Structure 1
Amino acid sequence: MSEARITTPFGATSTAAEVLAGVDLSGRRALVTGASSGIGRETARALAAAGAEVTLAVRNPEAGAQAASEIAGATGAAVHVAPLDLADRRSVRALTDAWQGPLHILVNNAGIMATPLGRTPEGWELQFATNHLGHFGLTTGLHGALAAAGGARVVNVSSVGHINGDVLFDDPHFTRHPYDPWAAYSQSKTANVLFAVALARRWAADGITANALNPGRIAATGLIRYVDPASLPPQSFDPEGRTGVSVKDIPQGAATSALLAGSPLVEGVTGRYFEDCEQAPLVTPGVRRGVAPYAIDPERAERLWSLSEELLATPLPTA
């Protein structure tokens, strides 16, 4: 992180609508995963309000249709729905094969957190498969559309939880290590950051930028449905912000995603990790803010890319 840190006039309490106020995204096409609710929906709404044509990629098409109708009615924008199950390679491939034309903005927002042990038909641990591998397959499958857009942006929604652990390169699916839901979540969120670092380097010649972000702790989203508050990592919840962690509402939680997806303030910025609408510094011990050095390490990023390609090259499981 030798380059100058990126800051903006916005901060922790800014909303997605405020970040994109006055921004014109007319003629741009955006795809947001997990956009039927929570910060994904709010990110999609902000992009649509700025004039973008938005596709909501969702597991539940009925919920997606309801969200699309509400967003279109509120913004007047064209809003579409595409079915997507990130843990199912056939579903990911169906979306990428069906996509036509350029894609200017891809927000990899969907995710699951601290789930009981689950595995895909391939035997892959469910959080790593959903949060990282699904988005890796989606993004690489849309490479042609992103390159065709000229100046496309990829935005990976990570988490401050990444500071709790690196990718377990020797056992990413917990076949030898005892399964821990938070360790699995942490490695998947670290993977989101490393993926952006690798994308930034590999796709720079195509004019594609890629960044990752921590949206902050957000009240009342579906992400916490598996979580027992007593199981939260130490210092992970502090409503008064004494440890650097305060609760945001959904419009505030979507602000950094909206900034990276559509704001001219970060035009050309790539390979970085943001929180509270600015580039995050390296993590300070005892404070749940900042980015862990291992999450932005170029060698680890390349190692993850190779691992991801290897996994996604395995034969599809039989139905």
Structure 2
Amino acid sequence: MTRPAYLPDNFVLTLTGCVILALLLPIRGAPAEWLHTATNLGVAWLFFLHGAKLSRQAVVEGLLHWRLHLSVLATTYGVFPLLGLAMWPLLQPWIGPTLMIGVLFVCALPSTVQSSIAFTSLARGNVAAAVCSASISNVAGIVLTPLLMAALVSGLGLGATGQGQGLSWSSVQGIVSLLLAPFVAGQIAQPWLGGWVRRHAAILKPLDQGIILAVVYGAFSEAMVQGLYQQLGWGVLAILLAWSAVLLALVMGLLVWGSRRLGFARADEIAIVFCGSKKTLASGVPMAQILFAGQPVGLLVLPIMVFHQLQLMVCAVLAQRYARQAETAATEA
């Protein structure tokens, strides 16, 4: 019997298990430093594979559908951050400045890739456009996410510990050396390695997920060792869940309304909704480790973990609804 689409998948369950393990048995001392070094190397390898897998021809062809991609990018890097700023005065007094940085980080992240494409396919949407749009969003995020975070943090006078220290130049260097440079190297090697990476995607996926799990375990262990979770309670988690629900509802509603006002076809609307409303955990956690080096990463990634799970459940239900509507329309035609 298959698991209903709105329930957590195996990776989310394993991710939750890593968090629990970190809370019960956090890694510390020299082993923690070794894990940090290993995960940095893993993150660089992960982005090298992303660069090698992404077909330049697909991106060039996808750019022809510029109105769709512009709609997704404007939502991902415009509407989301503006909504985060609008919620800041109401949210920060309840969750504190550290988690507020994590909330703004969610708003600055790129879209997901795999799940955006999967849900678009399930909903009978424009899969080719979703592939290009999600890929373009992630490539742009390597540059735009750090810039947005620097602007948001400095503009609000916030630091990850509430003291206004902001993002350092070393964070930018980390993004270049561990994310951008490996991605560019992967793109250069794409003509030779691209086919191999795509053919062995099923084998490489556990490696990708393993790197993410290791980063999460290390980040939550560090927060546990520092005693940062003592300030959290069920009330804070409930507030993060409510915030995620409100944010997702606002963005999805705006995307559906905007797609129809702009005259997009139904298949394009589906691609816009699923690519424009999602935020990546896969790239977000490694990026947080680099951007917020020396800061409480375990707390900072908590909002994206909550938002990620909620978006998967909501998008699964919405994709099934789109699919049923398509089947009904085909039957009546």
Bigger helix fraction: 2
Normalising by structure 1, we get a TM-score of 0.28
Structure number with bigger Rg: 2
Normalising by structure 2, we get a TM-score of 0.27
Return the structure number with greater relative CO, CA threshold 8 A, min gap 6. 2
